[in-house]
Amino acid sequence: MNGIIRDLHCVPESLSGPIDPAVVTRLRTHFALSDYFVAQMAKCHGGIPAIGTFTVGEEEDQIARFLSLLDEDSELIGPPRPHFEGWGDERVVNAIPYLARDGACSDLFFSYLMPFASLEDGSEMRLDCNYVDLVCLDFHVNREVPTVVYWRSNKVIDASRAWEALPEDKMYDEDGECANVPWDMFLIPLADTFEEFINDLRENPA
């Protein structure tokens, strides 16, 4: 495994405990997740980082929470953490599998995007709806080496409507995957690799 695992100084109480290897295995059936990604997320998944600021165009934004690598079958360590809407444990709801597979906005990832961090911490706002901006791995150009992108919640519905307006034979490729998605309407490139993105994160302003 290449790359140095960074300590992003997450709030200890926010961390989700050990990642679930079974979740990683299931995600890898669809997404090429590197060993570095898994190791770094094991250090910070579920966490609210003190080092989480990044550049978006000419502005700065910051990660409010990393999503967890847990699901409804995972063994959760420690006391329960009820989701604010009563949907079970927040570590399972504010999670990569839930958002990517079952969440209200899962169709808006067009099968090529995998969210791993949110710009809201999920304490008062559902992270699975299309009013929360996310940071995602983007596999639409290269299925093996994803880039990192900023998923703009206020633009994705317009992009989805533009895609759905296409003739059906233009919406999917021969393998049944989404085609001709207007990616530029709702994605902003952040880094060429996940490692580069992590290395470029800066301490949050006081």
**Separation CA 24–CA 134 (nearest Å):** 20
Residue 16 has pLDDT above 70, yes or no: yes
**Separation CA 28–CA 167 (nearest Å):** 31
According to the model, what pLDDT value does residue 83 have?
77
Task: Write down the pTM of the prediction.
Answer: 0.92
pLDDT, tens digit, for every residue of 50-86? 999 999 988 999 999 999 999 999 999 988 887 777 6
Mean pLDDT on 16-21 = 96
Contact (Cβ atoms closer than 8 angstroms) between residue 10 and residue 44:
yes
Place of tokens 């847990």: 70
According to the model, what pLDDT value does residue 18 have?
96
pLDDT, tens digit, for every residue of 84-121? 776 689 999 899 998 887 655 678 788 899 999 998 86
Tokens in use for 140? 């639409």
Sheet (strand 113-118) strand order? 65-66, 113-118, 134-138, 147-151, 187-191
Strands, E, within the chain: which ranges?
A: 51-56, 59-62, 65-66, 113-118, 134-138, 147-151, 187-191, 202-203
**Separation CA 147–CA 166 (nearest Å):** 26
**Separation CA 202–CA 147 (nearest Å):** 19
**3-class SS at 197?**
helix
